[in-house]
Amino acid sequence: MKHFSFIILLLAILSCNTSNENTVVKEIVKIETDTIYVNKGSTTPDTSLIEGVPKVVKQNLSDIKIVLSKLSDPYEFHLYGKIEFFINQKLIYTYENEYLEIQAYQDNVCSYFEILENEIFSTFYIFRSNNRPEPNNFIVFKKVGKSIEKVGETETLTGEIYGDIDLDGIFEIGGFNRHCEPGVKETENPNHPLFCSDFLRVYEITNTIERDTIVEQTILKRKKQRVLTHR
Ligand SMILES: [Ca+2]
């Protein structure tokens, strides 16, 4: 995969949000130049921290504001259990579940990219979901007009592949779908080009999330070529 690293296009990452997991309200006010959540009955922004970690993080992306809240323990992982999308200060979409743990930071809550379809740009948002002890999985949403819909999720992936690695205009996410342990066989040495290669997976992110076996085979072919150098 190192062969691909130089062409990986990293996408801009942003994050956003502000909310109080217990007392937060669906009440939005204009304070200075920014629209933020406040505690009910207060004009003070909820910028409080737990063990130094913001209870709420947010990111502005064009006409979208994304707010993550419900910070969970262990706090140092920066994991949030609720995602909210706003357009023009109006809440348009909420995603949360009991086990959701999105790793996010202020102004860096997700990756995003645009695809031109029928002369209209669609925007995709990719969130990194902590799935410890297994690798992360990635949850994808899409903005259609003024609404948000969930596209889907990848399986757990180590995520070394992240971007348009084959320059075809489509975003890929990939890596290994498990954490491989070193073993006694030659290919079980972490320094071997084929280490863990049985578990290589690459997904294309479009209106669906599907494996790109062509890219997988291309990577594996190059890995096998490197075996000669390895020896
Ligand atoms: Ca691509």
- Give me ligand 1 centre to Cα 168, in Å: 4
* pTM of the entire predicted model: 0.79
- Give me ligand 1 centre to Cα 220, in Å: 17
Instruction: Please tell me the predicted confidence (pLDDT) of residue 25.
Output: 40
- Residue type at position 157: L
- Give me ligand 1 centre to Cα 207, in Å: 14
Rounded Cα distance between 31 and 66, Å, is 17
- Give me ligand 1 centre to Cα 17, in Å: 30
Confidence of residue 161 (pLDDT cuts 50, 70, 90): very high
Confidence of residue 231 (pLDDT cuts 50, 70, 90): low
- Give me ligand 1 centre to Cα 205, in Å: 9
What would the two tokens of residue 207 be? 């209106």
What would the two tokens of residue 174 be? 């990939």
Instruction: Please tell me the predicted confidence (pLDDT) of residue 27.
Output: 40
Share of the chain above pLDDT 70, in %: 79
- Give me ligand 1 centre to Cα 215, in Å: 9
- Give me ligand 1 centre to Cα 5, in Å: 13
Mean pLDDT of the chain: 83
Give residue-wise pLDDT tens across range 92-151: 999 999 899 999 999 999 999 999 888 888 999 999 999 999 999 999 999 988 999 999
- What is residue 197's DSSP assignment? G
The answer to whether 46 touches 18, Cβ cutoff 8 Å, is: yes
**Could you state, in order of their start, the residue ranges of all structural domains in the chain?**
2-230
The answer to whether 69 touches 82, Cβ cutoff 8 Å, is: yes
- Give me ligand 1 centre to Cα 200, in Å: 16
